[in-house]
Structure 1
Amino acid sequence: MFTGIIEEIGEVLSLQPTRGGGARLRIGCHIVLEGTKVGDSIAVDGVCLTVTDLAPESFTVELQPVTLRRSALGTLRPGDGVNLERALAVGGRFGGHYVQGHVDAVGRVVTLYRDGPALVVRVAAPPEVMRYVVERGFIAVDGASLTVQRRWPGEFEVSLVSYTQAHITLPRKKPGAPVNLEVDIVAKYVEQFLRAGTASGLSTEILERAGITTDEVGGSL
């Protein structure tokens, strides 16, 4: 599991196709190599991947065909920056939100604009993502835990403070660039419990008494 707090921006050194439709990705970095060994998990732009090889200033991961289909990793080129985060250690400080490293869909950057010192980024997302997106809620964009500032049908905005701007890749993106999106897993669990009806012992009335509306878990179910 991850927290969405990016530790380092790595550099893509190579992306080579492998037999069977997969690929081998090598990334140059420093911070995330500390304490890392072969077999450990590192989130690369929000995708949980297993380290298959280590070098003094880089690591290698293997990309399955399904990973290439469900994420934007296949569009990477040598020299591109990628967000990196090691898996959360037991007892480690939890600073973001629950991020699994399982990408739900690929979105697209619509526009970037300034709001004082903040950088606001608008992202287009498919319906299967937008149903879980709520204002002031969490979403992982290329693995970075961000707060939704506003939402519309098919789009949402996030606002990046100065520190975040310097430590993730999103400010480098151009309109039209793909981004990996992962919604808050809590919303998915709540939706499944509601769909199970009385068998789960959970209902919209119970949620509303707890202060949670159906709008917050993907609309009317």
Structure 2
Amino acid sequence: MFTGIVEEVGTVISCAEAEGAAILTVAARTVLPGLRRGDSLAVAGVCLTVTAADDDGFRADVMPETLRRTSLGGLEAGASVNLERAVRADGRLDGHLVQGHVDGVGTVLERRPGARWDEVDVAIPRELARYVAEKGSVTVEGVSLTVTWAGAEAFGVALVPTTLTRTTLGALSPGYPVNLEVDVIAKYVERLLAAQAEA
């Protein structure tokens, strides 16, 4: 479980194909202390299991399902990725409940710079749009954000200075693919209501 509060922006060393899957190697610093094989780490919003870690970075396997449902398969050496370690049970929940289970890939549509913030519109797959609500939470590239408006095929977010400078979102331009995770509570409510209607 994560919170969507990015700890560090890492740099992709390689994303090598491995029998239909991939091996991702990332250079990092902040997330490394105490990081061990088997730990969960969110990379661009995707929960991955660490397979190796040293003083320079870490390695993780990326399964075919993850390559199909996220943008990780398109990563190249030198790409920047948001990183967050799993939240501790005694830690603060500053963002919102984030599983690291990406629901789909959206696309940055438009960016409107403000005095100290940017407003960004993101296209979302139609089947996911119903889970996004104005003033609700959404995860974009592993970053917990508040939705400013929500439509049938897109939504908007506002990026504060900290988000602009401490995550990869500050450099996103129109056309860029982004990993999206919608609110898991909304999905469970829909499922429960559907089951109740069928009973």
TM-score (norm 1): 0.87
SS at match of 2:31: helix
Q: Which runs of structure 2 are paired with 1:65-144 in the superposition (5 Å)?
A: 65-144=64-143
Write out per-residue CA displacement over residues 76-99 of structure 1, whole angstroms, 9 at most, x where no aligned residue: 111110000000112111111010
Match of 2:182 in 1: 183
**CA displacement at 1:199 relative to structure 2:** 8.2
1:51 aligns with 2:55: no
2:28 matched to 1:29? yes
- Taking the aligned partners of 1:10 and 1:74, their CA distance within structure 2 comes to 16
In the alignment, which residue of structure 1 is the partner of 2:3? 3
1:47 Cα deviation from its structure 2 partner: 0.5
Shift of 1:198: 6.4
Superposed CA offset, 1:166-209 (max 9, x none): 11111211211110000011101111111122688xxxxxxxxx
Structure 2 residue aligned with 1:18: 18
Q: Match of 1:14, as an amino acid?
A: S
Distance in structure 2 (CA, Å) of the matches to 1:14 and 1:196? 44
1:59 maps to a residue whose letter is F
Structure 1: state its 5+ residue gaps.
Answer: 201-221
Q: Which amino acid aligns with 1:7?
A: E
Q: How many corresponding residue pairs?
A: 199
Counterpart-to-counterpart distance in 1, 2:85 and 2:158 = 24
Structure 2 residue runs without a partner (length 5+):
none
Shift of 1:116: 2.2
Question: Deviation of residue 55 (structure 1)?
Answer: 1.8
Q: Provide the secondary structure at the position in 1 that maps to 2:92.
A: coil
Bigger Rg over Cα: 1
Percent pairwise identity: 48
